[in-house]
Amino acid sequence: MFKLARNYSARPPEEWAPLFYRILQNRIRDGQRRRQVRNRFFAWLPGASAREDEVDPVETAPADEAGAVERLMANEALGRLEQSIAQLPARQQEAFMLRALGGFDVAQTASAMGCSEGSVKTHYSRAVHTLRAELGDAW
């Protein structure tokens, strides 16, 4: 945000929101590209399915058994959600992340994605439909 203010301070304030959303969109796409390249590169290595940043559920489990089971189930459900989101097409991922997780409304999401509001509704609806079909009643 500081770079945005520093580099575009001469522009009128009404141009800042579209600029911010475009920068956000580009950063999301850059991250997706990086992840795809990393996955392609490391896929052939033995043990590549075990990510280094994964936390062992036993180490993070609370002391009481009931809480441990609930937390483990929540972590597994979240993992399934993340995997399902990763399998969505990029535009559906983007629409879902901005709307469901980012709390953006349709107009803000359309501005961020650089498309029409109808397109946002379509991408979001398809993403939700796919996720519901894959995850069932868990979400």
**How many CB atoms within 10 Å of residue 131?**
21
pLDDT in tens, 52-106: 555 555 555 555 555 666 777 777 777 788 888 889 999 999 999 889 888 889 9
Listed by start position, the domains of the chain span 1-50
Residue corresponding to tokens 């850059």 = 30
**Identity at 35, one-letter amino acid code:** R
pLDDT, average across residues 9-36: 82
Q: For position 122, what pLDDT does the model report?
A: 97
Q: For position 23, what pLDDT does the model report?
A: 82
Does 124 have pLDDT greater than 80?
Answer: yes
Between 21 and 123, name the one with better pLDDT.
123
Share of the chain above pLDDT 90, in %: 24
Torsion 12-119-24-22 (CA) sign? negative
Taking the model in full, what pTM does it have? 0.53
